[in-house]
Amino acid sequence: MQQTRRGRPQEADPREIARIALDLFEREGFDRVTMDEIADAASVSRRTLFRLFPSKWELVWGSLGDILDVMRQRAAALSGADLRVGGVLREFIEPFLRPLDDPEAAATARRRLRVIASAPALLDHPTLREIEAVLATAVAAGPSPSGAPPPWSRTRWSPSRSPR
């Protein structure tokens, strides 16, 4: 007689679920994959999937909210630091690029970028716009010869305005 396992089910691994979703997005296309298909492929319930990832976007973007929190903290700590654009990039961007020195992390990032490139609607994430605003504010706060913010700091980049 085979014994059945009782008790709490094994914890769902968010990284593994995101990896499975990324596989599906690459194979089928972001817009064609449903949350039900992801839950099924990851062998988790729909409820568990939505608890970990409230939307498909979160499966691609991952910890974007955590990045925003860190950027806000850095912005507050550097307030009044009189950084030029290069300094802002060093302080805000480099820390998030360092983990990409790991080949596995870099490969995953490339995969995510390919999915994002194939589904431009992913660029319209509200948290991404907030990150953009934090960076724009930090750059605009830096020194300029005339004392006025550079004219480009008042322009919001969007995919529809990108050069083709």
Of residues 1 and 21, which shows the higher confidence score? Answer: 21
Copy the structure tokens of residue 101: 């020195």
Range scoring the smallest mean pLDDT among 7-16, 44-53, 62-71, 103-112: 7-16
pLDDT of residue 24: 97
For the chain, the first-to-last Cα distance in angstroms comes to 66
Q: Is the pLDDT of residue 8 over 80?
A: no
Listing DSSP states for 84-142 in one string gives -HHHHHHHHTHHHHGGGGSHHHHHHHHHHHHHHHH-GGGGG-HHHHHHHHHHHHHHHTS
pLDDT of residue 120: 87
* Residue type (1 letter), 134: V
Copy the structure tokens of residue 26: 């690459």
pLDDT of residue 142: 72
Contact 136, 129 (CB under 8 A): no
- Which of 21-30, 77-86, 98-107 holds the top average pLDDT? 21-30
**Full set of structural domains in the chain with CATH:** 13-62 (1.10.10.60), 63-154 (no CATH)
pTM of structure: 0.69
